[in-house]
Chains A and B, each alone.
Chain A
Amino acid sequence: MTQVAAPETVRADFDNVRVELTQGGPMVLERDGEEFWAEFDDPGWEGPTAERPRIRRQVVMVTGSHHQNIYWYATGHDRGLNVLPSVYLLEEQQWVPRSAVVLHSPGQSVAMLNGHWNAICIACHTTLGKTAFDTPYRSEPFEEQTIETTVAEFGIACESCHGPAEAHVTANRNPLRRYRLHLAKGRDREGDPTIMLPPQLDPTRSSQTCGQCHSVWEFYDVDGERHANRAGLPYRPGDELRDTRFIAQPSVDRDSAEMLAFVENDPEFVRGSFWPDGMVRVSGREYNGLIDSPCFRNATASDRTLTCFSCHTMHKPPEDPRTTAEWADTHQVSTDMDGNDACLQCHEPMRAELTAHTQHDTESSGSSCYNCHMPYTSYGLLKTVRSHTISSPTATESTELGRPNACNLCHLDKTLDWTADRLRDWYGTPMPALSDDEQTVAASLLWILKGDAGLRALAAQSMGWAPAQATSGTSWMVPHLGEALGDGYDAVRFIAARSLRSVPGYAGLDYDFVAPEQERVEAAVRVLREWRASPAAHLRREPELLVDANGELRVDAMRRLFEQRDRRPLFLRE
């Protein structure tokens, strides 16, 4: 959500607050009546770091209202905006550097460029935003460009999804017309012809309404970008989305001319958003997941085709007993669609065969369609998000693609061999070739010790996931989450600390993921030392958990796996 900075939208305290942990010198926040001001080192400065000037600017806009408040200030040049160098985490009530909330390599800087919001963020954080740079963004020094950015409305308003509504508004000033439509609604599902109703479009166009923002996309060429710069994005709900923009779908277009061109300019274009097989791995891009799902791709009847609206609703029905906040916090899932009923809409026969199919008790989290077919393999906003590519778990996806499989995201204490064995017995899934470690070490430990930063984040988050904790126990996780407190990636440390606090006995963990490195390492060592001294350390003496028969941690094995870690820099483009 994008909102004007005002007392009711700014959630952080600006009343003479000094934020030490930020990029450069401390950020000093002040409030002057209804206005919010900040003094900080200019994040948009592109000259020598030592000469980075100190600036004082008014905060004029806020994005984010569920997890983080990100504050945007007026640069003072035309309508150019830039972001404050620190972000406010709402639940933790903590200011952290902007770079700490993005999963990126420690050595890589996160873009905080003047005009970034005007040129990039505006596309999906406003309704009919027009960038209006006189020359292409960053083709000239920012101060020399003319920026006349305008928006119809901040945030995603009615016309983002329903298209231009002038005729609709004019026609419906007539109350007789409105009531005729209300009374006809039960009989006539066509509704009001003066407005686009996305759920009533065919499945492809319907989901593209959401996909206009929830996808990995790019302009086809500079002309497309310049047109959008002048007139706003040309897509209107009901249009074919791909007519005006390139939707990246590496599962099918990895070798297309467009994709090759993007990768040539930006080698991490695919890796930053997708798993090696093309499944999307970042949140906020669920349309990419949908179009790779068999429930969408292979569907032949429109009323049995998976769309965004199969499970989600953008307007909470009055009869829905949830509060608006609850509905919003559960990703605007439709009434009763937060469980198996979502899938049983089409797979009704499965209702009577649930346990035969899942091999788990009816009430078990293993009998949740979501948990097996939409596991938490996407990352974003310092948490994990369910994959929106409907798939079935395999051990192969973990061995060959490095993606966690649904079984081991819950059975964290089991090996890939265990999973492959079960899947072969239950579903006839071919047994993959497995390395010694894959046969003898719990999958979650391979992921958190050897995996890339994205995989480590997913594994750490799963260790804090209540169903996984209930299935796998928690005592054995502590040294590994403790080790992750010293991870080089801020996001991994944050998630590891949150998961560790959910383990019994660690709710009061004293740890700050953005504290100086020495403090973090000391905290990690303290966690390990205390765990070793506690009875919990001896509860699980299982070699796959890297604990020997004497209850001692197999540090040598941990170190060996750590040495094999995928250290390629990773920036997940959520």
Chain B
Amino acid sequence: MMTRTSGPAVNYTRRHLRFGWWSLLSFLILGFVLELLHGFKAGLYLDVSNETRRLMWTLAHAHGALLGLVHILYALCLRLFPGLAAGALGPISVSLVGASIVLPGGFFLGGLSFYDGDPGLGILAVPVGATLLVIAVFLIARASGSLDGAPRESGQRPGGRKPRQRN
């Protein structure tokens, strides 16, 4: 017989942990690539005329990596505070994942092709991503007001429910 935790909070914890680590890995690799472009003095990245691209891709790397950490932190919070965001888990998750894709993605696309000192049209995705991030953070902040302040005790299941058994 095998048991495993289930229920919405557990799924979200896993979801954001997994998304966070993979996202972190992806954007760390992007950072590594950017370092290589520096190392090999790639003109497409370092030339004065490509300053906009350099800024955009740096921002994509930084935002993507930081948002990956936010996912991991959020997942840990869900683990520690099972009541966090109860009732808003779905919207928070969608907003946070959306922000993590659209925000750095917009910066990256904005640097792919650009107009002199202005990023390319991909930059239009950035305010959308920023809005999603604001929504997610707002929902988490609002939900955190309903917590009783006591973290889950060791061995206690998220959400305070007993694990269901499955044959």
Contacts and interface: CB of A to CB of B under 8 A. Distances in A.
A318 B118 contact: no
Interface stretch (A125-133, A174-182, A295-303, A386-394): A174-182
A77 interface: no
A175 B117 CA distance: 11
B118 A323 contact: no
B50 interface: yes
Given A321-B43, A323-B43, A324-B43, A182 B48 contact: no
A317 interface: yes
B118 A316 contact: no
A49 to B, nearest CB: 47
Interface string B67-86: 00000000000000000000
B57 to A, nearest CB: 14
A324 B47 contact: yes
Interface residues of B, number: 12
Contacts of B48: 324
Given A321-B43, A323-B43, A324-B43, A315 B115 contact: no
A323 B47 contact: yes
B49 interface: yes
Contacts of B114: 318
A182 B124 CA distance: 14
Contacts, number: 28
Contacts of B115: 178-179, 182, 185
Interface in A166-191: 175, 178-179, 182, 185
Contacts of A322: 43
Chain A's interface size range is: 10 to 19
Interface string A175-213: 100110010010000000000000000000000000000
A175 B124 CA distance: 11
Contacts of B43: 321-324
Contacts of A318: 44, 47, 49-50, 53, 114
B103 to A, nearest CB: 18
Contacts of A317: 49
B5 to A, nearest CB: 48
A510 B118 CA distance: 53
Interface in B33-78: 41, 43-44, 47-50, 53
A316 B51 CA distance: 13
Interface string A39-71: 000000000000000000000000000000000
A185 B43 CA distance: 25
7 contacts: A179-B118, A316-B47, A317-B49, A318-B44, A318-B53, A321-B43, A324-B48
Interface of A: 175, 178-179, 182, 185, 315-318, 321-324
Given A185-B115, A323-B41, A324-B47, 17 more contacts: A175-B118, A179-B115, A179-B118, A179-B121, A182-B115, A182-B118, A315-B49, A316-B47, A316-B49, A318-B44, A318-B47, A321-B43, A322-B43, A323-B43, A323-B47, A324-B43, A324-B48
